Each structure stands twice: as structure tokens, then as C-alpha cells.
Chain A
């Protein structure tokens, strides 16, 4: 008995597929007839925002994506960057926001699974993961449940798969109450001559399905992720996929084993929009048609329709074009790992995407146009109005600096994230040199005696809200700075742009301003964007999230013996601030968490100062002049100092007397391009002379000593009290 797969195409059915009337007309014009039900599903999958980037594409094109080390930029499963000696790092960041809000454990788990698959599809063994998580206000009814589920999901998948999680971010803000963000990053290692792409080559070659079986989970997931949430959210649960890290681990080993045999001509993981997207992409990129025989697709549920099979987002699946002579070799490898292996189609020379089920042709579409002719919008946007300046002198100073600092280090957003990262395996593979809690995660290259990679992900959404352009610049600059703070040379980045509904001109204006800022910073810092992801419609009941363009970057340490850490300051070290005196309190943590205000502009990022100061710090670290280093970001110099003190378990005696301006501006100002470094006393003068020579502004702050942090006569707190405040917030919140 055949499975019914035809429904009349009504305007309601079109609308329920997330296609606007003019987009449907575009389909009619393109194929010259009414689409079948399956074809409508295919168009919906290919033309939604998530897969087609139809609102953002025009602006994404402006980003710098090339550089001397860039081997593969955006457009493949992940970016590829040269790290010398024939080694390459393969990386990408991707969001799984909507699913994680609906079902936090599986949403987060499959987010991690998806990004790992993107990396190993390209032939790279994953060596590091980081993740940027943003939740609603701590006192919001759902927040604890979401934190608990997302963290367990990230850990549940990554730990079982066997990749160390070496860094990330966790932030709370009421603007994420109805729409949390889960941005997962993964990086892998490959050889430059061992990269695999999705471009199909050769006519009449077998298209092979690998991995787990296809079920009904996630049908329509990409379409769901391209819409706002409303009161019907509970109904969307079946669109969230279920992850199986065990199968993924087997798929990793099987794919890497298979790639060594020369059997793989092209490979593409089945991510958003599953079989549809992967097959169309492989064919369209290679200038070939694809014919799929759905009766051959391994399924785990009975009576699945063509529509369901084409749109299923079941996890841990791959599609591959196979070298025919290696069919038996390939099959044996997959049998060994207990995975499905099925020839489900072939490449053709007619540039059609044909899908056959039960002897019937259920889709026959022009393959290139499915991707290339997707709508592209130049959506109206409005320029953001700059906020008026806010002088430090016009911001109230704290009545008690000790209280202010203790409150900040023990606040929801500045407290220790230990509760989170102790649930992640941070040391598997035995190469983690810096685990979470520092400026960047660092992982050594196992096959090389001295090389290591540094990873960081950053964005300050409150700055982006205040000024999308400066906020976009700042996200890039802070990521770059965190990598520099280890002594690494930042190489390239991936962007994960999370915004609200782009059909609103003010949201579109945020996106446009941000991309301009990111582009300018990437250009100035030689930090190209090599992969990325856009997540729009992050709104619930019409309220958008804070604009959150997460930037994750990778840096190279030629010799990890000469790496800096936040927590290695030694007694007697001289503390030096690199950069200018602090004064910018607009949109600062001090203003928000001590004074309860979100006013004021974002700090301006002077990209030439950023580069000059960063280059100086990196060279000082590499010359062995720095015993500890920490960038100055949220909370300003004051928080940077106490964070270094806590991580080093050492006190500090500091004076601000060399600096000019009100003390609260000096301590809490969030001016950019700044670092705190601890320098052995006998090197301090030499380093200062070097800074002068390089025209790098600096201030001598004091020294590392004792068990208290003492700043002039305004701060005097024991490191123990700071640590108790810092470590207590998260466990007591989650208790």
C-alpha cells in the first residue's frame, strides 16, 4: 500500500510552510506549475531564513573573509585556516536557540552535535569546543530550568563524544527571558591535503547515506527556527531533534577511517533541513543533478512519507558521493562501527533534483535555482541614533568601593562559572593547556612539540544595543584581545549573529550596523571571518533579544611554553596596565549592576590602539617578560585586578595615583584596548621602556603581595573574601 503524500496546495498550507505569497509566486514562476506537497516542503526548507540567509546575505557579503592563512572561507561546513607545517584548523560556530528554549537538554545537545559534525565532515578530528549561552533574568520562572537543561545537554553530548570544552560564556539578561541563546563552537585539526568538501564531482556516481536512521524528529525544524515564538510554543516540541552522541562518536571514527581510504569524493552532513539541504548543496556546488530513491533510505519509523523523509532533521547522518570502486571498503567500515550505509541515489548531468518514492517521482526541481534563486531581501533598516555622552563625573561614585567590588564579583553576570564548566569534560584528549576560567582556552597540537591553539568567544550585547556599530567592533576586538592575552596570534574568527525580527527596520538596523562594525574590526585586526551562522526572529510575543553577535576566534601559539595565563602572577611581580586610564562608564557593568541603569553610549573601539597595544602585549609575553596577563573588559580595571588576584591566589597593593580622573571611572570604566600584566620586578623598568619606545600607553599600578587586594585607601579586601563571593553565586542560585 502506498503512503499518501499529496495534499491540495492551499494558501493556508503555503503560509504554514513559512512562505510569503510573493515567495510562493516566485516558486510558480520558477517551475511553471504548482509544486507537489513534497516540493513545497523542499522549497520551504531551502528558502527559510535559516538556510537561505535571505535577509542577511546582502550584508554578510561585505565581511572580510580572506587572508594569507585562509584556506576555506564561508560557504562550506566550516572554515579552514592554515596553522603551518601542513596542519589546518577547521572551525565554526552555530546557534541552536529556538530548540534549546523548547527542550533545553536535547536542543543544546543537538546544537553541540551539529557543530561537531560540521567540523568532522571536513575531515578534521574535533579538538576543542566552546559555547556561548545566554539566559533570561535569574529570577525569571524558567531560567533555572533552562540553565540546568542546557548545561546538562552541552555536557551530555560533548563529554560522551569526547571533545574537551575549553571555554565559553554564560550571561543573564531579562531580554532573553523568552528566547535563550545557545551558540556552540567546535574546532578540529586536519592536514591541509586532507580536507573534504561538499562539492559533488562525476556523473552517475553513487550517493551514499551514512550514520543513523531517519525518523520523524525535527521535521520542519529549520522553518521553526525562522519564525518568532508565540503562545503555541508547546506545540513545537516535535520539531526538536533528539541527539545520540554515541552514534556521533562512531560516525566520527567511521568517517575519518573512510576518508583515509580515498573513497570519499564529496561529503555533507545532514543538518538543518536534513536530506534536502545536503543533497541539493552537493549537487548545486558541483554543477550536477541528484536523483534520490527514498525507498533505500534507512528509516526507524514505519510508513514515513517522502515529505517527512526529505524534511526530517534526525541527527548523526551524512550524505556522501562515493568512489564506486571503494564501495565494499566503505561498507565494511560502516558495518564495523554499527552504522547504516545505503546507496540512496546517484549524481546526474541534468541539473535536476529528482526524488523518487514508491516508484513515483515526488519532486523534480531545478537544483541550482533551489539555492541560487532563493529570495534575497534588501530589507529596510534605520540608522541607530547615537546616545549622548555620559561623563564619569556625572555618574555617582560608590559610597563603599569594597562593597561595590564584592557585589560585582559575586553578581549573576560576573561571578565564577565553575558550576557550569565542572559539568563539562575540559581535559579529555590530554591536550588542554588552559581550561575555562581564563581569558581563552588553549589546546596543544598533539602531533607537534610546541604548537598550541587559543580559543575565545565574546560579545557584549549591551554595547551592541547601545550602538550596533561600536558593539560589533567591540565583540571582535574583545575576542582578539582574549586570544592575545595568552600570547597567541589571532588568526581568524567565526560569527554567530543572533537578532530579532529583521522585518522590523530597527532590528534590521542593528544587524546592518553590527555587520559594518564587525567588518571594520576584522579588517583592521587582520582577523577574517571564515564561517558563521545567522539566527534571526529571536523574539517572543514581539519582544526582541538584545542584539548578540557572538564572535569566536582562533589564535596560534608557536610555543606554548611561552604562554601567559591569568592565574600565574607571583609575589613581588609588578602590575602594569597597558592602555589608557579608564573613564567610560556608559553601558558599563558598574552602571547596570551597582546603579541600576543601562544608559550611556558603548565604549568606542580605537582599532589602531587595539592593534598596537595587543601586538605589544603579545610580544612581551613571547619574550618571556610577563608572568600573568588578563584583558580589561566588563567591570574595568577593578574587576580585572581582582580576577587576576583570585586566579593567582595572591594579594595586590595598587595605587591609582599616576592616573587622572575620578576613581570610579579609573576602576570601573570599560575603555577598550587594555590589559593588566604582572611582570617580574627586575624586568618592569625594561618593559616600561619598551612600551614607551612603541608609543604604547601604560601605567605602573603596584605589585603582587600579601593576601589582600589593597587599592589606595579605597579598597581593602582579602582574596579569600573575594573568592567566596565570586564562587558562591552560581551554586546558590542553582541550589
Chain B
């Protein structure tokens, strides 16, 4: 049950993610640098953390999605390894074509950092088993481009297949996302992307631990 955190220039929540994975699993994740083309075989969970990879110049996640390390991550995902992208990590997975949809600029056109409520729409994924279906959790967001969009047909199919995993709840959609979507999973169920930051809400010092379930799910399942 080993995890890895991808490090790219400009990502800045890698340290938060490493701290969360270490605290929850008791084991520090390995780190993977942008130029690496092979990911160790014993890695069961790859996390792409948040930040501003390559300055988010051109388009959020666009440059990162084309780095060599992403090819390696894609291969691992195809083999069934779990991949989780948070914030910029979500944007990168979308840009890499590993998740459907696109993340546009927030409708406010401003960066937003605040606590929101999330509904766990699908509690049967490898990332959300620790939660109950329909459970409302608290989670912080911190992003400029989290406005999720996908075409109507794809959305309908995603809904059918349970690919919408998290929705902003109780009127807290901070960015104008279509259908209040905060997190989605691929059809196979091993690649999750979400804008909110569960890694920043895992202990009393954070004012709550609602985010812990995500890591507990992903890591527990690995243990099983």
C-alpha cells in the first residue's frame, strides 16, 4: 500500500498532500519528478496535487498534461493503479484526457478560497467508501479555474455510470460548475479528479477532518 505524489515545477500543495498521506497511512509517499518516465511497480495510488504547474501559463494543466511523466501515469492508470488529481491535479487529468470535461475560469473571474459543502454523490468508489451516499461533508476550495463543464450527452452518461462523485451542496457552488459538479471519476473507477482540497481538512488543527475519508478509502482499499 504505497502511494506517490507527483512533483512538477509550480505545483505548491505537494507538501500538503505528502503530509496528509503520511499522517493517514503512517508512511511517507514517494515523490515523482516531471521527467520520470517510469513509475515503480509497487505504487498503488498516484496523487497529482494542487498548485500552478508551469505557472498555469497557456491554460491550467495544459503544459503538465504533455510532460513525459504523464505518459507513465496514463500507463499505470490503464493497468488499474488508482490516480487522484486535486485542484491543478484535476485540471491536469482533464487536459491529459484521462477524465471527461473541462475546467473553465470561475464565473466570478476571481480566485476563491473558502469552505464549501460537498455532497458525496457516489459513495461506492475506491475513493469514497468511507462516506455514506448523500452524506454532506465540509471541504475547502482554493482555485481560479474550477468551473466544470461537459457536454450534455457526456453528462447524462456520466450520471448514469455514477461518474459524478462530488457535488457542491447547500448553495455553496463557488465557481459556477455545471450541475454543481466538484469531483468526477473515470468510467473504470480508478481515476478521480476533484477541485476541493481534502488534504487541508484532515485533523483538529484544520478545524475538522471531513477530508480524511478520501485518503482512508483510497489507502484502505489498497490494504484490502
Cβ contact within 8 Å between B55 and A425? no
Among A337, A422, A429, point to the contact of B113 (Cβ < 8 A).
A422
Cβ contact within 8 Å between B111 and A244? no
Cβ contact within 8 Å between A249 and B10? yes
How near does chain B come to A328, taking the closest CB pair, in angstroms? 19
Number of B residues, CB within 8 Å of A: 27
Flag B1-33 by CB within 8 Å of A: 1 or 0 each.
000000001101101100110000000000000
Cβ contact within 8 Å between B16 and A246? no
Among A160, A422, A424, point to the contact of B52 (Cβ < 8 A).
A160
Complex Cα gap A249–B206 (Å): 24
Cβ contact within 8 Å between B110 and A560? no
Among B9, B19, B112, point to the contact of A249 (Cβ < 8 A).
B9
Cβ contact within 8 Å between B9 and A162? no
The yes or no answer to B51 lying at the interface (CB within 8 A) is yes
Complex Cα gap A429–B200 (Å): 8
The yes or no answer to B149 lying at the interface (CB within 8 A) is no
The yes or no answer to A431 lying at the interface (CB within 8 A) is yes
Cβ contact within 8 Å between B205 and A422? no
Which residues of B lie under 8 Å from residue A159 when comparing CB positions? Answer: 52, 111, 113, 142, 144
The yes or no answer to A333 lying at the interface (CB within 8 A) is no
Interface size range of chain A in the complex:
20 to 34
The yes or no answer to A427 lying at the interface (CB within 8 A) is yes
Which residues of B lie under 8 Å from residue A560 when comparing CB positions? Answer: 205
Cβ-closest chain B residue relative to A152: B110
- From residue 110 to 136 of chain B, which have CB atoms closer than 8 A to chain A? 110-114
> With contacts A161-B12, A162-B13, A337-B9 known, is A155 near B205, CB below 8 A?
no
The yes or no answer to A423 lying at the interface (CB within 8 A) is yes
Cβ contact within 8 Å between B54 and A426? no
Q: What is the total of A-B residue contacts with beta carbons within 8 Å?
A: 78
> With contacts A427-B140, A429-B15 known, is A338 near B9, CB below 8 A?
yes
Cβ contact within 8 Å between A425 and B9? no
Cβ contact within 8 Å between B113 and A426? yes
Which residues of B lie under 8 Å from residue A250 when comparing CB positions? Answer: 9-10
Cβ contact within 8 Å between A246 and B55? yes
Cβ contact within 8 Å between B111 and A246? no
Cβ contact within 8 Å between A430 and B206? yes
> With contacts A156-B111, A430-B16 known, is A444 near B205, CB below 8 A?
yes
Which residues of A lie under 8 Å from residue B142 when comparing CB positions? Answer: 159, 425, 427-428
The yes or no answer to A433 lying at the interface (CB within 8 A) is yes
The yes or no answer to B199 lying at the interface (CB within 8 A) is yes
Which residues of B lie under 8 Å from residue A246 when comparing CB positions? Answer: 9-10, 52, 54-57
Cβ contact within 8 Å between B113 and A244? no
Cβ-closest chain A residue relative to B35: A336
Which residues of A lie under 8 Å from residue B111 when comparing CB positions? Answer: 152, 155-156, 159, 423-425
Which residues of A lie under 8 Å from residue B113 when comparing CB positions? Answer: 159, 421-427
The yes or no answer to A99 lying at the interface (CB within 8 A) is no
Cβ contact within 8 Å between B55 and A245? yes
Cβ contact within 8 Å between A244 and B55? yes
Flag B42-58 by CB within 8 Å of A: 1 or 0 each.
00000000011011110
Which residues of B lie under 8 Å from residue A403 when comparing CB positions? Answer: none
Which residues of A lie under 8 Å from residue B197 when comparing CB positions? Answer: 427
Cβ contact within 8 Å between A423 and B12? no
The yes or no answer to A446 lying at the interface (CB within 8 A) is yes
Among B19, B52, B110, B114, point to the contact of A430 (Cβ < 8 A).
B19
Among A161, A423, A428, point to the contact of B110 (Cβ < 8 A).
A423
Complex Cα gap A53–B20 (Å): 46
- From residue 198 to 218 of chain B, which have CB atoms closer than 8 A to chain A? 199-200, 205-206
Flag A128-163 by CB within 8 Å of B: 1 or 0 each.
000000000000000000000000100110011110
Cβ contact within 8 Å between A427 and B19? no
Cβ contact within 8 Å between B55 and A160? yes
Cβ-closest chain B residue relative to A165: B113
> With contacts A246-B55, A423-B110, A423-B112 known, is A430 near B12, CB below 8 A?
no
- From residue 133 to 164 of chain B, which have CB atoms closer than 8 A to chain A? 140, 142, 144
How near does chain A come to B109, taking the closest CB pair, in angstroms? 9
Complex Cα gap A425–B88 (Å): 14
Which residues of B lie under 8 Å from residue A428 when comparing CB positions? Answer: 12-13, 16, 142, 200
Cβ-closest chain A residue relative to B33: A336
Among A155, A159, A244, the one with the most B-chain Cβ atoms within 10 Å of its Cβ is A159
Which residues of B lie under 8 Å from residue A427 when comparing CB positions? Answer: 113, 140, 142, 197, 200, 206
Which residues of B lie under 8 Å from residue A446 when comparing CB positions? Answer: 19
How near does chain B come to A151, taking the closest CB pair, in angstroms? 9
Which residues of B lie under 8 Å from residue A244 when comparing CB positions? Answer: 55
- From residue 220 to 271 of chain A, which have CB atoms closer than 8 A to chain B? 244-247, 249-250, 253
26 contacts between A and B (CB under 8 A): A152-B111, A155-B111, A159-B142, A159-B144, A160-B52, A161-B12, A162-B12, A245-B55, A246-B54, A246-B56, A246-B57, A247-B55, A250-B10, A253-B9, A337-B9, A338-B9, A421-B113, A422-B112, A424-B111, A425-B113, A425-B142, A427-B197, A428-B200, A430-B19, A430-B200, A444-B205
List 8 additional contacts besides A162-B51, A247-B55; criterion CB under 8 Å: A159-B111, A159-B144, A250-B10, A426-B113, A428-B12, A430-B19, A433-B205, A444-B205
